[in-house]
Amino acid sequence: MALSNEQKKFYENTLTVTKKEIQELEGEIQEELAKVKDRLAELQNAQKAARQMYDAACQRLGVRNELEEAESQG
């Protein structure tokens, strides 16, 4: 069954609108991913700094570094 002109216009409009929506959503997804990556980098840097301080404290106190041992076992 062939589409009427009205139906054809409706579906063509639907294609245009949804394609634009998909492109906008993809842009938003990429923005959010960039934010997440930046936040993960911040957290990883903070964790690295904290581990260095923990390691230094262990060395100064002459105690074993439990975190380092746990990493090597896991």
Assigned domain for 5 exists: no
71 pLDDT above the threshold of 90: no
Calpha distance 74→59 (Å, rounded): 22
Calpha distance 63→74 (Å, rounded): 20
pLDDT at res. 74: 66
73 pLDDT above the threshold of 90: no
**Domain that includes residue 40, residue range:** 35-74
Assigned domain for 27 exists: no
What predicted TM-score, i.e. pTM, was given to this entire model? 0.68
Question: Which contiguous run of DSSP H or E holds residue 32?
Answer: helix 5-61
CA angle in degrees (0–180, nearest 5) for 35-37-40: 110
Number of domains comprising the chain: 1
What residue has token string 């903070």?
Answer: 46
- pLDDT 10s digits, 18-67: 999 999 999 999 999 999 999 999 999 999 999 999 999 999 999 999 98
pLDDT at res. 42: 98
